[in-house]
């Protein structure tokens, strides 16, 4: 059985596929080599000194710069508040014990994050 369709149907199908193809977005973020581990399960004294929103931060690889300008090198372990943190594109973040809340979003223990070029926090698969 042969069906003759008007050319406008073929044009509509081609336009639909080209629109769908152009709307697919791939997020590519280059790993900067800097990696931190953050967690909320901190000692009682840290909560007493800094408040209940204190975050433990370990620099795993590379370096990490606080908002004060202080640069922490790999092996550094500190307690910070979120407002002291910076989010450089390519920064890898592993969420540790107790999870953590960043920019109003809670991330459970084991979550892996990366900072994209717009300095937004996104989940990464590995």
Q: What is the pLDDT along the chain (126 residues), one digit of tens a residue?
A: 444 545 444 333 333 333 333 333 334 555 678 999 999 999 999 999 999 999 999 999 999 999 999 999 999 999 999 999 999 999 999 999 999 999 999 999 999 999 999 999 999 876
**Contact in structure between 76 and 58 (CB atoms under 8 Å):** yes
**Is this model's pTM higher than 0.85 or not?**
no
81 within a domain of the structure (yes/no)? yes
Q: Which residue range is the domain that position 72 belongs to?
A: 35-123
Q: Count how many domains the chain has.
A: 1
User: How far apart, in whole angstroms, are the C-alpha atoms of residue 107 and residue 94?
Assistant: 10
Tell me whether residue 107 is in a domain. Answer: yes
C-alpha to C-alpha distance for 81 and 105, rounded to whole angstroms? 15
Asked if residue 55 belongs to a domain, the reply is yes
Specify if 111 maps to a domain.
Answer: yes
């Amino acid at each position: 059985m042969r069906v003759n369709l008007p050319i406008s149907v073929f044009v509509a199908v081609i336009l639909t596929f080209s629109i769908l193809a152009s709307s697919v977005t791939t997020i590519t973020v280059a790993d900067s080599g800097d990696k931190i581990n953050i967690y909320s399960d901190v000692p009682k004294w840290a909560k007493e000194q800094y408040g209940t929103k204190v975050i433990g931060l370990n620099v795993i690889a590379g370096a990490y710069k606080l908002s004060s300008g202080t640069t922490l090198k790999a092996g550094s372990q500190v307690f910070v508040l979120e407002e002291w943190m910076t989010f450089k594109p390519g920064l890898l973040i592993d969420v540790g014990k107790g999870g953590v809340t960043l920019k109003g979003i809670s991330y459970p223990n084991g979550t892996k994050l990366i900072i994209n070029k717009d300095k937004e926090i996104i989940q990464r698969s590995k």
